[in-house]
Amino acid sequence: MILTALGIWIGFITVSPTATGGLPTGLATGLGIWTAISALISLFVGAWFAARMSGVAGRFDGAANGATVWATSIFLGALLSSFTSLLGVGSLLGFRLGGAGTGDILGALGLTALPNIPADQVAAIRSFAVNASGWFLLGSLLSLAAALLGGYVGARRREVRITPPRP
């Protein structure tokens, strides 16, 4: 969360809108690279910590702990982004929540929907979404590898001690 907040802060202070009011070309790439780097760092450290603190020993068990850390982060990220998308973007585009007869969030707040978007801006938004989703896929796969490696490295070694029986 700290790395994500740092990336958002840096993005907001360094990116300026284009002359036509569209999205900057490199924003999706920069966002994707930062997301991948922060995921690699945080999931490696989180998986290492989970493997080190677990009560089991062995490299395979450490890697399994790493995979669990990765899956939990993906699940929580998807849950959070779905919830915010439902309340944010869905209401901005005029989607109805709760079935027929219910208004959207903007309507409930007395605000109007978005105006018609020109074709060139739709193309820019589409390009942004394609770039961002590609970077997300690459970052997810690399973060899985980082989590597996972190769990593998952080696992304790198995030691088998055989003590002779007492006479």
Question: Average pLDDT for residues 35-51, to the nearest whole number?
Answer: 88
Residues 6+ apart with CB under 8 A from 89: none
pTM tops 0.75: no
Residue 26 is classified by DSSP as T
Residue type, 162: I
More confident residue, 112 or 124: 124
Query: CA 140, 144, 149, 150 torsion: positive or negative?
Result: positive
Asked if residue 24 has pLDDT above 80, the reply is no
Tens-digit pLDDT profile for residues 92-107: 555 444 444 444 555 5
pLDDT, tens digit, 9 for 90 and up, residues 126-161:
777 787 778 778 878 888 999 999 999 998 877 777
For residue 71, pLDDT over 90 is answered with yes
Question: Which pair of structure tokens corresponds to residue 37?
Answer: 């780097």
